[in-house]
Amino acid sequence: MQLDKKGWAVLKMAVFLLGLAPFLLLTDDAVNDRLGANPIEALHFGFGDWALRFLCIGLALTPIKTLTGQNKPMRFRRMMGLFAFFYATLHLLVFIVLDLSLSWQALKDEVPKSPYLLMGLLTYLLLIPLALTSTKNMQKRLGRSWIKLHKVVYAAGLTALVHYFWLVKKDYTGPLIYAGVIGVLLGIRVVVYYRKKVKLLYFESR
């Protein structure tokens, strides 16, 4: 299906509203006291889950392009990345503002004792430069360096997984599902990379 400029604008707006929906639903649940016995934890985990989901969606777009030959899904890569950063920010803010009551002393006391917090903060720090350089203007200014910088998203995906595994105490079903998804998405990239390398070596040897 071919879309004109107006059609793409409508589609992007629809995808944007879908991406915003989890925030609106979780906020509505919080306002109307529908988050259960521990609302802060439910809100904290909810935003964290959506950060990881959007990270996975962003990572999936390149393999989709590779497998289908369609470049159109790549138009949503920046939006998915920014949504991942948005929900990661909310995930962090809920912890600092609601759980620790903005006590920086409590944060300094908690982080060294909790490896999963260190890994979570590392993941967030990795996402910051990606969000700040996500604009087309920054892409043009950085040139090929932009591509190298944005490969940091692979490290962010792995550190987010470790953060999730260390956070969970008993049921590892969720982290294992995400590990499988991210493993497949990164595995496709590795296969494509080595296929290109083998093909290049083949033509150079002829």
Who's near 42: CB < 8 A, 6+ residues apart? 29, 35, 36
Please name which of 57, 60, 120, 134 lies closest in space to residue 89, comparing C-alpha atoms.
Answer: 120
Residue 179: closest CA among 150, 158, 154, 156: 158
pLDDT of residue 70: 84
For residue range 27-43, what is the model confidence (pLDDT) as tens digits? Answer: 999 999 999 889 999 99
| pTM > 0.75: yes or no | yes
Structure tokens at 194: 């080595």
User: Residue 7 has what pLDDT?
Assistant: 85
Calculate the CA 154 to chain-centre distance. 10
* Number of other CB atoms surrounding residue 75 within 10 Å: 13
Number of domains in the chain: 1
Main-chain dihedrals φ then ψ at residue 139, nearest 5 degrees: -60, -40
Q: Is the dihedral of CA 102, 106, 107, 110 positive or negative?
A: negative
pLDDT tens readout for residues 43-81 = 999 999 999 999 999 999 998 988 888 888 888 999 999
pLDDT of residue 108: 81
Determine the Cα–Cα distance for residues 42 and 22; give it in Å rounded to an integer: 13
SS3 for the chain is CCCCHHHHHHHHHHHHHHHHHHHHHHHHHHHCCCCCCCHHHHHHHHHHHHHHHHHHHHHHHHHHHHHHCCCHHHHHHHHHHHHHHHHHHHHHHHHHHHHCCCCHHHHHHHHHHCHHHHHHHHHHHHHHHHHHCCCHHHHHHHCHHHHHHHCHHHHHHHHHHHHHHHHCCCCCHHHHHHHHHHHHHHHHHHHHHHHHHHHHHHHHHC
Mean pLDDT rounded to a whole number for the chain: 89
Q: What is the CATH number of the domain that holds 143?
A: 1.20.120
Per-residue pLDDT tens for 189-206?
A: 888 888 877 776 656 555
CA–CA separation, 26 and 43 (whole Å): 7
| Structure confidence at residue 178 (pLDDT) | 95
Average pLDDT over residues 135-155: 88
Is the predicted pLDDT of residue 144 greater than 90, yes or no? no
Identify the domain containing residue 187 by its residue range.
Answer: 5-205
pLDDT at 51: 96
CA dist 50 and 91 (Å) reads 9
- The mean pLDDT of 8-22, rounded to a whole number, is 93
Query: Residues 101-132: pLDDT tens digits?
Result: 888 888 888 888 888 899 999 999 999 999 99
